[in-house]
Amino acid sequence: MARDILLAQHIQAAAQDQIGIPAHQETIDEIKAAVASNKVVMVSMSQNPYPKKARKLLEQNDIVFCELSYGSYFSCWQQRLAVKMWSGWATLPMIFINGELIGGYQELADSVANNALTELLAN
């Protein structure tokens, strides 16, 4: 499903120049590399209860995962914003399994509850 984005014809030329500059590309590259080399990746942040819940759920199910954490509510917000814009997923955590974004904590919990996580990990 494609996201609705502001069309170039509705953006002033000076602003278009800034839009083309990738923000925090090194953060996105770090996530891409982790997703490419790990079966399960969680992008998280401190102080948010949902990454903590997701971490606990993964650990309870003996699932090995790579976690990349970007600051707290008081730091690294620009990096998290760049990741959210790149992925299209507005909240943390972001859970990737076999290179695909499955969603956040609730999607992970749902996949555990309906035994879909085992199937996802087997692929």
Instruction: For residue 29, give the 3-state DSSP assignment.
Output: helix
- In tens, the pLDDT along 4-18 reads 888 888 888 888 777
In the chain the domains, ranked by start, together with CATH numbers, are 22-122 (3.40.30.10)
Query: Which tokens hold the place of 49?
Result: 């209860």
Judge contact between 71 and 62, C-beta under 8 A: no
The pLDDT of residue 117 is 92
What does pLDDT average to over the chain? 93
Q: Does position 29 have pLDDT exceeding 80, yes or no?
A: yes
Q: Please state whether beta strands 40-44 and 66-69 pair in parallel, antiparallel, or not at all (unpaired).
A: parallel
DSSP H helices in the chain: 13-19, 25-37, 49-60, 77-87, 105-113, 116-122
Torsion sign across C-alpha atoms 62, 29, 4, 71? positive
Instruction: For residue 54, give the 3-state DSSP assignment.
Output: helix
91-102 mean pLDDT: 98
Would you put residue 103 in left (φ > 0), alpha (ψ -120 to 50) or beta?
left
Instruction: For residue 74, give the 3-state DSSP assignment.
Output: coil
